[in-house]
Chain A
Amino acid sequence: MADNEKLVFMVLHGPNHPEHATIPFVMACAALASDVEVVIGVQADGVCLAHKGEADAVQAPGFPPLAKLMGDFRDLGGRLLVCGPCINSRGISAPDDLIEGAEVVAAGRFVAEIASATNSLVY
């Protein structure tokens, strides 16, 4: 990646908030296309986006379908980190219930990613 730039997007909203769930993936794809390293971290209801099938029907007005964006994000080399305690409290099992490429982590890893980033954004 050029200039070692890195962005971290923390996503706290799930399928019930299509815009809040979609826009970070729009931004992330644009960043990856611009040679910026990207990590998306999902916490709270945001972890539902990494639950197989839950994002499939999500489409915010004016934007591509969320599942398409999440596929583009993965294909462009984005990394998706999922909050372990948040999936446990929702009965989501790892790795079987999670989408391809999702990595379960805890607070220490999130902090390390954010601390090493050029910038972080919270959605």
Chain B
Amino acid sequence: MIDTTTELAAITADKVIDARGAACPGPLLEAKKGMGSVPMGAVIEVWSSDPVTKTDIGAWSAKVGHEFLGVIAADGYDRVFVRRGK
């Protein structure tokens, strides 16, 4: 996990997934789908207005072997960063 918001904000994601407005498990399923469309080592950024998404995607990343990079709070939603690990 990246420690600072500044470092996280410097990342340009390979794919941005706008899951704002989707209820659980929508953002997770969108992350799963998005991850399948990027190569190993690529970073996806999931936008979610559901406050539990950041912990949900963190747990999912650890379970399936991706690297959870962290979260930036935006205006009414979270930007969740994950690097594809497998």
Contacts and interface: CB of A to CB of B under 8 A. Distances in A.
Contacts of A30: 24-25, 28, 56, 60
A34 B63 contact: yes
B23 A62 contact: yes
A72 interface: yes
Contacts of A63: 23-24
A33 B29 contact: yes
A30 to B, nearest CB: 5
Interface of B: 22-26, 28-29, 31-32, 56, 60, 63-65
14 contacts: A2-B64, A2-B65, A26-B25, A30-B25, A30-B28, A30-B60, A33-B31, A34-B63, A35-B63, A62-B23, A63-B24, A64-B22, A69-B25, A72-B29
Given A33-B25, A33-B28, A33-B29, 10 more contacts: A2-B64, A26-B24, A29-B25, A30-B60, A33-B31, A33-B60, A34-B60, A34-B63, A72-B29, A76-B29
